[in-house]
Amino acid sequence: MQLAANAHGVYVHIPFCSKRCDYCAFATFTDRHHLTSTYLKSLSQHIARRVVEGMPPATSVFVGGGTPSMVPAEELMAVLKTIPLAHGAEVTVECNPDNITLPMMREYLAGGVNRISIGVQSTVPHVLASLGRTHDPENVRRSVAYVREAGFSTFNLDIIYGAAGESLDDWRTTVRDVVALDPPHVSAYGLTVEANTPLASQTDRHPDNDDQADKYELVDQLFNDNGLENYEISNWSKPGHECVHNYLYWLQGNYDGFGCAAHAHMDGRRWWNVRTPDRYIEMVDAGQTPESSSETLDDSTRRLEALQLLIRVRDGVPANSFSAEDQELLEALIAPRGDRWVLTRAGRLMANEVSLRLRISENSG
């Protein structure tokens, strides 16, 4: 997949949650709900300012969090209306299955949203408890039904493997339950330990690499058997349902970020906003940039990073991205596809190690 010439993304961060999951390191807050309306108005104000500055129409929009589906639908749609959209733009909102209602889904669709991403994580109650999640698995089935009844033609389900106490059979149950819902897209992530989270301090709950490898092989096989093709290490879809916004990240596209802790990128310069909603509101309302810090990549770093991202996706990297010696060394982990190298299933499990062997050449990219 290649980026369109006019590709430009927008990420909108909604930081409010009812409960912080044990593994979550994102900028989310359970004690700031009184700021919701003020925060959403600041988002609209910040977006409007960027539009005046010349922000291009968005080819994709992703509203993440936090829990975007916690805030009033009409207020969230008012924020989205301030974003100029290119024709055919993909507009995604993340939702918790406990919050989804049919009227909400209808309001989202009427407001221009055309893709929903539902945080399932597991359909096994004791695994959800281990992850610090609170939703009822039955709500997942109900939510998917509402999404379809409202008229959405595509949606995503997120699941996580590797929680403490999750057996291979537990994971198989989750995957089969997900497959039974016939989703157009699924993201399946291995649980990772992030610093400064409850999970980080409890080493007995840390995931086991061999266990996660077994679970990855299982999910890949079951998805393949049911028409979901892997197109990035952690993402599977039916043809035509790949996530446009994620590809923008993987192909180093440009995007704006709105909201506290939101990241943005423009031609090799990356920046991120202040972390708390209080500070974000204060700075936007004062007419100041909420930018907290930034970095600019030099050309060689950017080109190497491009390869490290490309090796993760279905199309892989140019054939000259590995030396002849490394091609032989990585024989079980990479495979030729036309004039490119792609990861095998085993290679996807070792992607970081494979990335260390990548080399920049004149035709890389």
The predicted structure's pLDDT at residue 199: 64
Please state whether beta strands 340-343 and 317-318 pair in parallel, antiparallel, or not at all (unpaired): antiparallel
Say which range, 18-22, 177-181, 223-227, has the weakest mean pLDDT. Answer: 18-22
| Residue 273 clears pLDDT 80, i.e. is over it | yes
The predicted structure's pLDDT at residue 1: 73
The predicted structure's pLDDT at residue 71: 98
| Residue 10 clears pLDDT 70, i.e. is over it | yes
| Residue 363 clears pLDDT 60, i.e. is over it | no
Task: Report whether the peptide linkage leading into residue 316 is cis, meaning its omega lies within 30 degrees of zero.
Answer: no
> Residue 19: pLDDT band by 50, 70, 90 thresholds?
confident
Q: What are phi and psi of 185, to 5 degrees?
A: -150, 140
* Closest by CA position to 357, among listed 345, 343, 339: 343
Q: What is the pLDDT of residues 177-211, one digit of tens each?
A: 999 999 999 999 999 877 777 766 677 677 889 99
Whole-angstrom distance, CA of residue 133 vs CA of residue 139: 13
- Give percent of the chain above pLDDT 90: 86
Domains by residue range for the chain, with CATH: 9-250 (3.20.20.70), 300-355 (no CATH)
| Residue 283 clears pLDDT 80, i.e. is over it | yes
| Residue 294 clears pLDDT 80, i.e. is over it | yes
Map residue 355 onto helix, strand or coil.
helix
Whole-angstrom distance, CA of residue 75 vs CA of residue 28: 19
Cα 250 from chain centroid? Answer: 11
The predicted structure's pLDDT at residue 132: 83
Strands in the chain per DSSP E: 9-14, 58-65, 85-95, 115-121, 155-161, 185-190, 229-232, 235-237, 255-258, 263-266, 269-273, 291-296, 317-318, 334-337, 340-343
> Residue 2: pLDDT band by 50, 70, 90 thresholds?
confident
State the number of CA atoms in the 13 A half-sphere of 180 facing the CB.
9
| 140-149 long-range Cβ contacts below 8 angstroms, 24+ apart | 140/97, 140/177, 140/181, 141/181, 142/97, 142/100, 143/95, 143/97, 143/100, 143/118, 144/118, 144/181, 144/183, 146/100, 146/101, 146/102, 146/104, 146/105, 147/100, 147/105, 147/116, 147/118, 149/102, 149/105
What's the maximum distance between 2 C-alpha atoms anywhere in the chain? 60
> Residue 224: pLDDT band by 50, 70, 90 thresholds?
very high
Question: DSSP labels for 136-177?
Answer: -HHHHHHHHHHHHHHT-S-EEEEEEE--TT--HHHHHHHHHH
Mean per-residue pLDDT over the chain, rounded: 94
Q: What is the pLDDT of residues 53-110, one digit of tens each?
A: 999 999 999 999 999 999 999 999 999 999 999 999 999 999 999 999 999 999 999 9
Question: Average pLDDT, stretch 286-303?
Answer: 97
Q: What is the pLDDT of residues 131-149, one digit of tens each?
A: 888 778 899 999 999 999 9
- Give percent of the chain above pLDDT 70: 95
| Residue 362 clears pLDDT 60, i.e. is over it | no
* Closest by CA position to 202, among listed 232, 235, 175, 164: 164
Question: Average pLDDT, stretch 296-300?
Answer: 96
Q: What is the pLDDT of residues 351-360, one digit of tens each?
A: 999 999 999 8
Question: What tokens appear for 53 in the block?
Answer: 């500055």
List Cβ neighbours of 226 (8 Å cut-off, separation of 6 or more): 179
The residue to which tokens 């919701």 are assigned = 36
